[in-house]
A and B are shown apart, each in its own frame.
Chain A
């Protein structure tokens, strides 16, 4: 478990990082928090010739409230995002989900950009980005560009980033005030990657109807799944247990899980149903109580 020989370049600025990346060609790899990449290096599953280390790029470490959107620099540590009052106020689903990412020590090192770029389908951050229709901003030798979350996650551990592009920031639309959020995650142990996680956000209007709802599912397909059909069933309706059950079934239908040693595909599909129902039940709990009163 010792990495193969490689060159380590600590970038002094974004331009320097891009230049190094371009110069090193296909065999270069970007290093952010290292929580996913370093184990791959140690096991020689990745053998890049050059590591472009973004660790010194303070310019990519920020949280900025732009009113309608919140922008977070790619090198912002997960723990910083999770504990930021600005983030909690603008996009409460993100900190709610980050709490399930590994352990605190891992979130202290791991970055929000690394989580997005690594594109693990069971990871929480990609699912949040899908649920909230975020945009990802990348920079490369051809300049910056913006990619919608739905176009960003391509397949298992694959994104539509070009090899010479660096993810610099994510931009997330502010959730409407009064939004409720809920995360239902099933992992074998505390801190493990989810077998399946369902992330939900809703806005219930004063009449008790679901004005807006967003559901995404991690761990149940090669990319995060947005449960559009389930959302359509719910929007504009007053929640009932039957409606919630129907939406949960619809959400599960949208999944395309694989099998591994921890769970067969069927089991993951079952989890998607159960967890979506639990997630929605929590989201609408307040409403139901109001109606009953």
Chain B
């Protein structure tokens, strides 16, 4: 289990991030910093209706606005594209696809759907011109909610479908029917997870330059998946990929939204082709609330069958995915994952889970940090709490009784093999830490003052290091998921790593540099990590998402660096007339082990020997240059996990919840940089707090989005979040070089479960069963009123 333990060194060091001086002093370049000669700016006309047929579009007046260069409509876009907008996750073979283009062709299916696009001298003029485009709509009845969509007489979004259901799949394990028939107790819950989205500070954007003479397309994009983007642009635009170069400057926050492939990049490319000029398109904040992938919204029905002692024998669940008006790049993917991981960390022999994808007149449902996992977690953790309540047992006792024991790994779940873990230890560690910190005493003291404090726990697992490409392809992924890394030592001993991963604030430059520096034995400062250019950098399958960058990029780089180190030692051995096995490298100096002050040679000398003055230094049979590449296509994904404990205060009179303290005990295998891991956990947990208490995309009953600014879509700020504390365990992923597991999404997964449990714990006199997120103050006050009334009536 610990065969991958690495000796102490730069891997595991809390080093400062290499990218921060650039980011913090405003010197980093983002896509909006790209300004090209002759560049135009584009703006999109978006549908004001949730559901309507486009009767006609008149662009003639817009074309006469001074400064306007081109206006495109849906028919032109369809004719110019080789395929509709792609959907890369197709795990349900008979799924009905929506096959939409970058502009609506004859029907709009959500407010904000692009209908026309203008390229003009600048964004001001482009927006002026939008006001001169005349669109006649035949307004149709909207399908706003899940229940609207499922109603017997519901209007159809796609008239050639029999209903509004895009897909349905059930994956069984064991025999759930028998388990439920023989159970001592069955508990059931229906949960509603609110619609939410990632909201990076830098909205999406692209600059596209199509060379009309060579049909080469230069792209600058704020994307997490440059290689996938290049391939998809090639498919949609009918261009060979060697004609497409995607450059990704710093990405100002990704959160999964920027994994997906959107209409705007296609539109900017087509406008550039039409005008012969580079075209910039930057989503503004207002647009971002309808044009950026929405996520999270589901209704989940979940039940468990259990013995009287709390042993869970069976689980059933249905995930109702509230998809939007068309499928986004990841299709049913996130909601399918909610279904596939519904049993979470528990050893449940009989599971039967179903996902149903339902289209509605809302913005498309795409990626957001956590993917389906926060919802799966909410399902299994809420039902554990309810079962514990039913049986009169502490919830953590029920957890402990059902957590997968360490000796059962690799554990076959409904779909995946969980690779490794010490789940019970993790829960114990969290409980002990909470006891040491005296949270329960704080609750009691507060209670004496008439205040309501409570402690809540959740246990989460996180799929990471995605993943074995062929298995992913079998599961329906229309792309690979390996990672390729290249490491080179130059003629003066400096190290350059080339990666296809995107730098989006997560610290990938630092993490990769630590892996290379640790393995090669050189100072961190001597390593440069280059990213953001498909022309010169290696191929990352999938993209910088699915918590795979550090694990797979790190693993590939570790192997490449190890081979490069071997070559360095062979050259050094030749020069020093010693066996390479007897040499060590420390701080860029190669010397004989255990002989301090003895003969040595520096990395700089090695670089010189491999590139410049080879004679007498480079051994015969060694090629000049110092470069290695490696591709890691792992045998399996890797599962990280953790326990979240929170202390909250509830104002019973107003329903307000304050998160006072927050503790995460976490295991992601070998930690490359604990400071980065902590930061990722803190950021994810902040988004989790947002999802639990603040953030919700709200539509009016007529299908109009009501949350279109940050005054209405409430992201928690520094004053709403507590101090986070993180404790680490290390159970390595033995199938990944270095033993790394990913963890970029962890913080988002268990937050809502722990917070809702803590709220209930703060009000021990009431039976609350919170089932809807976010728990806004009015909702909590309602729940308190209902629970108080039912207590008084009983």
Contact = CB atoms under 8 A, between A and B. Distances in A.
Contact of A5 (B128, B707, B781): B128
B28 interface: no
A170 to B, nearest CB: 26
A263 B653 contact: no
Interface string B681-719: 000000000000010001000000011010110101101
A191 B717 contact: yes
Chain B: number of interface residues, binned into ranges: 20 to 34
B285 interface: yes
A263 B706 CA distance: 13
B654 A274 contact: yes
Nearest to A1: B284
Contacts of B123: 2
B175 interface: no
B707 A263 contact: no
B719 A190 contact: yes
B695 to A, nearest CB: 11
A140 to B, nearest CB: 32
Nearest to B712: A261
A274 B128 CA distance: 48
Contacts of A191: 717, 719
Interface string B734-776: 0000000000000000000000000000000000000000001
Interface stretch (A149-157, A214-222, A264-272): A264-272
Contacts of B124: 2-3, 5
Interface in A174-214: 186, 188-193
A1 B707 contact: no
A185 to B, nearest CB: 11
B778 interface: yes
B656 interface: yes
Contacts of A190: 717, 719-720
A274 B717 contact: no
Q: By CB atoms of chain B within 10 A, which of A4, A43, A261 has the most?
A: A261
B229 to A, nearest CB: 25
Contacts of B32: none
Nearest to A259: B778
Contacts of B712: 261-262
Given A1-B286, A2-B127, A189 B781 contact: no
B128 A271 contact: no
Contacts of A1: 284-286
B654 A189 contact: no
Given A188-B714, A189-B719, A261-B712, A267 B777 contact: yes
Contact of B654 (A2, A3, A39, A186): A186
- In this complex, the interface size class of chain A, counting residues with CB under 8 Å from chain B, is 20 to 34
Tell me whether chain B's interface is mostly helix, strand or loop, or mixed: loop
A145 B709 CA distance: 38
Interface in A245-282: 261-264, 267, 270-271, 274
Which of B286, B694, B778 lies at the interface centre, i.e. has the most chain A CB atoms within 10 A of its CB?
B778
B780 to A, nearest CB: 10
Interface string B111-144: 0000000000001100110000000000000000
Main secondary structure of the interface of A (DSSP, over half): loop
A261 B127 contact: no
B711 A192 contact: yes
A263 B776 CA distance: 9
A186 to B, nearest CB: 6
A267 B778 contact: yes
Contacts of A39: 709
Contacts of B286: 1, 43
A261 B698 contact: yes
Given A4-B128, A192-B711, A193-B711, A270 B717 contact: no
Given A261-B706, A264-B778, A189 B127 contact: no
A274 B784 CA distance: 15
Nearest to B718: A190
Nearest to B714: A188
Nearest to A4: B128
13 contacts: A1-B284, A1-B286, A5-B128, A39-B709, A186-B777, A189-B714, A190-B720, A261-B706, A262-B712, A263-B778, A264-B778, A267-B781, A270-B781
User: What 4 pairs between A and B have smallest CB-CB spacing?
Assistant: A190-B719, A1-B284, A267-B778, A2-B124
Interface of B: 123-124, 127-128, 284-286, 653-654, 656, 694, 698, 706-707, 709, 711-712, 714, 716-717, 719-720, 776-778, 781
Interface of A: 1-5, 39, 43-44, 186, 188-193, 261-264, 267, 270-271, 274
Given A3-B124, A190-B719, A270-B654, 13 more contacts: A1-B286, A4-B127, A44-B127, A190-B717, A190-B720, A191-B717, A191-B719, A192-B711, A261-B698, A261-B712, A267-B778, A267-B781, A274-B653
